[in-house]
Amino acid sequence: MSLNITKLDTASADFQQQLKSLLAWDESDDLEIQHRVLDIIADVRKRGDAAVIDCTNHFDKRSVSSALDLELPKEALLSAWQSLPVDQAQALQVAADRIRAYAEHQKLQPWQFTEADGTVLGQKITPLERVGLYVPGGKAAYPSSVLMNAIPAKVAGVGELIMVVPTPRGETNALVLAAAYLAGVDRVFTIGGAQAIAALAYGTDTIPAVAKIVGPGNIYVATAKKLVFGQVGIDMIAGPSEILIICDGKTNPDWIAMDLFSQAEHDENAQAILISDDADYLLAVEQSIHTLLPTMERADIIKTSLTTRGAFIKVANLMEAAEVASNIAPEHLELSVEDPEALCQHIRHAGAIFMGRYTAEALGDYCAGPNHVLPTSSTARYSSPLGVYDFQKRTSLINCSPAGADNLGKIASVLARGESLTAHARSAEYRIK
């Protein structure tokens, strides 16, 4: 199985232009999909449960007659958990414990301080009251994703976590339900698509409205999430998965080839890039790819991904590698080098950094602890991994003493009059002694 992977070199005059073409990813907004999703949302807002039932029967080929049948009984989660093979149950449990332990470090804490005149300023932290978790059905249903989305919400103190998961033809996924049990999901509805997002955003008689919706989904789900944003909060809209590996040429090339495969196997649009200052090493990894590819279950997907979106980039030195990586702002960044701590100092943008030859990105996907929901498509320039902080919010607190109000009132009065907002000014002036 031969495979042609794009080769770039920072020494080329047109490197920046070539890199830009390689990274280009424009999930063009499909107007037709938008209109279909808008119709579904409008229908759910208008007809509630009846619309959700109609969509579910139509799209998921089911024959539900009562909205009550859309909810899975809690016992279904428990029995899914109890029916797991012991090795899977143990692995899920360890992963959940580690995700929870890491998440505990992310909890926002309230704070306040008192000024000399007795005025108190601070910030209050409150968890979101109710959150919706979308879980895709079928082959893209990953129990690890349930843990990664649900556990930070529960650590934040979210009161009620509502999971929705489509069950085409009524088929449930035992691993997903077991993960939901383990993560402490409160209620599960077997609905999906834009109708599930609309139901969570606006609520129906049966499905309670939430404050925020998280979790991955197909283009209909992503479009619906964008369209209900404002009514509820949403997490990011994820693009294709990405890995960028910087290697100094001293890691076993088979390891690096397999790390590249581990992103490429996600889907044809996934992007796997290797950067090295060692040209011979790039050849060695290419050889490993050729040798290993035929042994992979998802060889076709991997081949398409690596051929159309993958690349090897030759750099002059590791500092240049850090610069190129920062400009790419990848979702996953492996620093497979001798001194990853030193190199890490020079990375400005990445979703997660996997340091050292032993830290395979796949460890982070499942059980290292940090979240696997990460900013894609260069959005690590301005956004962060999913975390406990996404399920908490801040409220500013101001408690002026009479002396503080006297001081601040004089300042506010001048500024408010400068902006011609005299009610503001007079409101402040009432509090001046």
Catalytic residues: 331-332
Q: How far is the CB of 3 from a copy of itself (least distance, A)?
A: 14
Site stretch for a copy of itself (CB under 8 A), options 8-16, 47-55, 74-82, 416-424: 416-424
Which H, E and C letters describe 330-342, residue by residue?
A: CCEEEEECCCHHH
Instruction: Identify residues 236-275 at the interface with a copy of itself (CB under 8 A).
Output: 237, 252, 254-255, 258-259, 261-262, 264-266
Residue 230: count other Cβ atoms within 10 Å of its Cβ: 9
Query: Judged by CB under 8 A, which stretch of 2-10, 45-53, 123-131, 275-283 contacts a copy of itself?
Result: 123-131
**Residues between 396 and 415 with contacts to a copy of itself, criterion CB under 8 A:** 396-402, 404-405, 408-412, 414-415
User: Using the rule CB under 8 A, which residue among 135, 309, 349, 388 binds a copy of itself?
Assistant: 349
Residue 355: alpha-carbon gap to chain centroid: 21
Would you count residue 424 as binding a copy of itself (CB under 8 A)?
A: yes
Segment 293 to 322, residues that bind a copy of itself, using CB under 8 A: 296-298, 302
Among 20, 61, 124, 290, binds a copy of itself (CB under 8 A): 124
Task: Give min distance, CB of 66 to a copy of itself, in A.
Answer: 26
The one-letter amino acid code at 68 reads L
Residue (9 or 327) nearer to a copy of itself, CB: 327
Q: Please say whether the beta carbons of 93 and 82 come within 8 A.
A: no
3-state DSSP assignment of residue 59: helix
**Distance in angstroms (rounded) separating the CA atoms of residues 118 and 53:** 58
Pairing of strands 271-276, 311-314: parallel
Phi and psi based region of residue 215 (left: phi greater than 0; alpha: psi -120 to 50; beta: remaining): left
Q: Is 201 exposed, middle or buried (0-12, 13-18, 19+ CB in 10 A)?
A: buried
Binding residue for a copy of itself, selected from 8, 181, 356, 388, defined by CB under 8 A: 356
Residue closer to a copy of itself, measured from CB, 76 or 91: 91
The answer to whether 193 and 166 are in contact (CB under 8 A) is yes
* Helix then strand then coil, % of the chain, to nearest 5: 50, 15, 35
Tell me the C-alpha to C-alpha distance, in Å, between residue 35 and each of 8, 136, 150, 220: 41, 22, 31, 11
C-beta closer to a copy of itself: residue 9 or 268: 268
Give least dist CB 259 to a copy of itself, A.
5
Please, what is the end-to-end C-alpha distance for the chain in angstroms?
84
In degrees and rounded to multiples of 5, residue 132 shows phi and psi of -105, 135
Interaction residues for a copy of itself, span 370-389 (CB under 8 A):
370-371, 374, 377, 379-385, 387, 389
Binding-site residues from annotation for substrate? 241, 263, 266, 332, 365, 419, 424
Reduced to 3 states (helix: H, G, I; strand: E, B; else coil), residue 9 is strand
Measured from the CB atom, is 191 or 306 closer to a copy of itself? 306
Tell me if 40 contacts a copy of itself by CB under 8 A.
no
Site for a copy of itself in 17-36 (CB under 8 A): none
Shortest Å, Cβ 326 to a copy of itself: 9
Q: How far is the CB of 9 from a copy of itself (least distance, A)?
A: 25
Nearest-angstrom CA–CA distance, 305 and 299: 10
For residue 431, state whether it binds a copy of itself (rule: CB under 8 A): yes
Shortest Å, Cβ 131 to a copy of itself? 9
Binding of residue 184 to a copy of itself (CB under 8 A): no
> What part of residues 59-118 is at the interface with a copy of itself (CB under 8 A)?
87-88, 90-92, 94-95, 102, 105-106, 111, 113
* Number of C-beta neighbours around residue 137 at 10 A: 23
Contacts to a copy of itself from residues 138-157, by CB under 8 A: 139, 142-144
- Span 327-346, contacts to a copy of itself by CB under 8 A: 340-341, 344
Residue 48 CB contacts under 8 Å (≥ 6 apart), including other chains:
204, 205
CB 261 within 8 A of CB 412: no
Q: Is 220 in the site for a copy of itself (CB under 8 A)?
A: no
Distance from C-alpha of 203 to C-alpha of 315, rounded to nearest angstrom = 53
Nearer to a copy of itself among residue 106 and residue 271 (C-beta):
106
**Residue 62 or 340: which CB sits closer to a copy of itself?**
340
132: its two tokens: 């919706």
Nearer to a copy of itself, 22 or 400 (CB): 400
CA distance 398 to 39: 44
**Residue from the set 56, 136, 351, 388 that interacts with a copy of itself by CB under 8 A:** 351
